[in-house]
Structure 1
C-alpha cells in the first residue's frame, strides 16, 4: 500500500527549457508512463486501438498499458515528435504487440481520415479510438492577447480532429467498441490563462455525452477521462517557469500526477469491465472536483 501523497515527487519538477510540443527526452525529471510498473491481465486481447498524441505523456502511458493488455496500437503524432514516438513503439513491441506510426497534423481533415484508413488496413480494424491529441498555450493576458491563429489551432487540434476521427472510425467499429476522449479539469475549473483550451475541453465533455447517446444503439460506448495536472512535455513547453515550478501543488494531494496514474482509466473504459458505462467522465485530478 502506498500513500498517494508520496508516491511521486511533489512540486518544483524540472521539465527543461522547451518549446511546444516538447520532448520527453529533454525533461530532466522524466514522467512515469508505467514503463516498469504496469502489469497487464489480458483485458484488451486482440483489440485494435488508435491513440492520437501517442508519442509521449498520457498517450504513451495508454499505449504501454494497451499493449500489455493485449492490444495492437496505431500511434498518431506530429512529425517533430518522431524521437519520442520511436521510444513508445519500442515499449509496445517489447510487450509483443504491433505498433503502426502515423506522423502528421490532426488539424488536417484528410489526415484524420487517413489515420483511420491505415488502422483498418494495417491492424485489421478499429475497436478503440482514443482522442488524446491536444494543444494548449498559456496566455496570462487573457482574451485580448489570444490571437485568432492560436484560437484556430486550439480548436482544430482539440475539437475538429476529435470530430473528424470519430466520424471516420464509427463505420468500422463493431458492437463492443469504445471511443475515449481526453477532457480536462479545465472543463470544470477553467483558467483565464487557458481560456481557449478550457473552451475546447468543455466542448469535449458535451461531445462525449451526445455521441454516447448517438452510438448506444450500435453497441459503441463513448466516455471521457478528465485529467488534472499531469506531468507531461506539454507542461514545460507551454507554461511559464513560475507555473511549472508550482504545477500540481494546488491539488488536495499536493502534487502533479504522472501519466502512469491516468492510463488505467483508459484501460477501464476500453475493456468489458465498463460494458454498462457510457456517456461518463472520469476525473483523475488529485482530488480536484469534476462535476
Structure 2
C-alpha cells in the first residue's frame, strides 16, 4: 500500500480520504516544524509528501525518498521546493492556488487599513491607559480612500486586492511581468512601469512570488524613490525585501510606515529591529489563515496526492 507522509498534524476529518486508501504517517505536532533529520528518516519509505512552506524539500530529500512520486505543498508559493531537483527525480510537485485568493486579499487589505489608521498603536494606547483626553491629532493616520494604490504582482490575489480597493475609490496602478488587459477593463486598473508606480503610489503592495528576479527587489534604492508619506505592505514572501534597507527607510523617513505579514527568516524573534518601530504592523504569516480556507487547501493537497498515486493527473501541478 502506498505511504504518505504529512509534515504537520492536520485534522483527521481533512485527511480521512487518504487513510481510506493509503498508509498515512503524520508528524504529531501542529505547532512544531519537523526537523530536517526526522524528515529525511520519514521520507525514506514514502510515496508522497504533503508538505508545509516550513519544510525545505531539496535534492537531499529526493535522494533519500527514492519512492517519491509527488510532493503536495500546502501553499500557493513553492520556493521551499527545489523544483528542478524534483524534475530530475521524476517527482511531481503541486501547490494550492485559487482557494486562498480571497482570504489572502482580505488580510492584505486589513493590513493596509491597520497600518494606515494606526490601529494596533491605538489599541495599545487604550490598553496601556494612556488615553486621558481627546485631541485633534490623537493617533491621526493616513486616509485610504481616493489615494493611489500601487500593486506589484497582478496575479489572482493582486487582482482580488484591487477589487477591494475599488470600494475605497482608490486610483489603482499595477506592475506585472505581463499586461493584464482583462483586469484593466474590469477593474479600471492602470499598468505602470515599476519606477513610475513606486514614485506615484501612496500605498505600495507587494504581491509577487519569490523568484531570482524578485529577490531583494525592495531595497534602499526603491524605498528612496517612494513618497515620504508612502506606506509599504508585503504579504507575499519576505525574501523580496531587504529588511535592513526597509528599517533604515523607516528610520530616515524615506517612507512613513510598513505592514508586514512575511519576513525573510520566519518566525522572527521579539528583538527583530523592525518590531522596535511603532510605524510597523507585523503579523505572523497569516495571509490565508481562515479555518475555511485552510481546510480547502488541505482538501486540494489531498486530492492532488490521491490523483497522482492513482495514476491520474493532479489538479494543480506546478509543472
**Bucket of the pairwise TM-score, normalised by the shorter protein:** 0.3 to 0.5
Normalization by structure 2: what TM-score? Answer: 0.38
Larger radius of gyration: 2
Report the TM-score when normalising by structure 1: 0.41
| Higher RCO, 1 vs 2 (CA within 8 Å, ≥6 residues apart) | 1
